[in-house]
Amino acid sequence: MAEGAFRQRAREQDFACPVDSAGTASYHLGSPPDPRAIAVAARHGVDIAGQAARQIERDDFYRFDHIVALDRANLEGVRARAPRDATARLAMLMDAVEGRRGQAVADPYYGDEAAFLAAWEDIRLGVEAWLARMMHEAARIDP
């Protein structure tokens, strides 16, 4: 959901940047998002049905300026895979949200639709904050 939400908001703000999602585990490789995630994203005008799960790769640590995890376990998994000379900065999605630094987006997988809606709301807040941060960074670099 986070990739789709960020991609949509960046497009609405006319902000071009590469966006991709990847997991730290190899299960679900090539699979589409959970149908409940697809439905919740669609309710918010975001189509994620065409996405497919992939695992984070070495090149990601150089290709992206930021690698953003939704929870502490995934952040630690990303850190464990990061090459020593990686250029990407690692953080959690909620780190950019005032008063939410270090907090995770709750995993809705074992919950009901309400859990997916709650995750979407956290993702929306995180995406807005990260997009603002990244647009500010870009403005400082490209006057």
Rounded to whole angstroms, the Cα distance separating 89 from 62 reads: 10
Q: Which residues 6+ apart lie within 8 Å of 22 measured at CB?
A: 54, 55, 56, 57, 60
Q: Which domains does the chain have, with CATH numbers?
A: 2-141 (3.40.50.2300)
52, two tokens? 């497919």
pTM to 2 decimals?
Answer: 0.92
Each residue's pLDDT tens digit, 94-107: 999 999 999 999 99
Q: Which burial class, exposed, middle or buried, applies to 26 when counting CB atoms under 10 A from its CB (0-12, 13-18, 19+)?
A: exposed
Backbone angles phi, psi at 83, to 5 degrees: -65, 155
Instruction: Quote the DSSP letter at residue 23.
Output: B
Percentage, residues of the chain above pLDDT 90: 89
∠33-75-2 over CA atoms, to 5°? 35
Confidence of residue 139 (pLDDT cuts 50, 70, 90): confident
Q: Which of 64, 105, 108, 110 is nearest to 88 (CA)?
A: 64
Average pLDDT over the chain, rounded to an integer: 94
pLDDT exceeds 60 at position 143: no
pLDDT exceeds 60 at position 7: yes
- Say whether 129 sits in a helix, a strand or coil: helix
Confidence of residue 140 (pLDDT cuts 50, 70, 90): confident
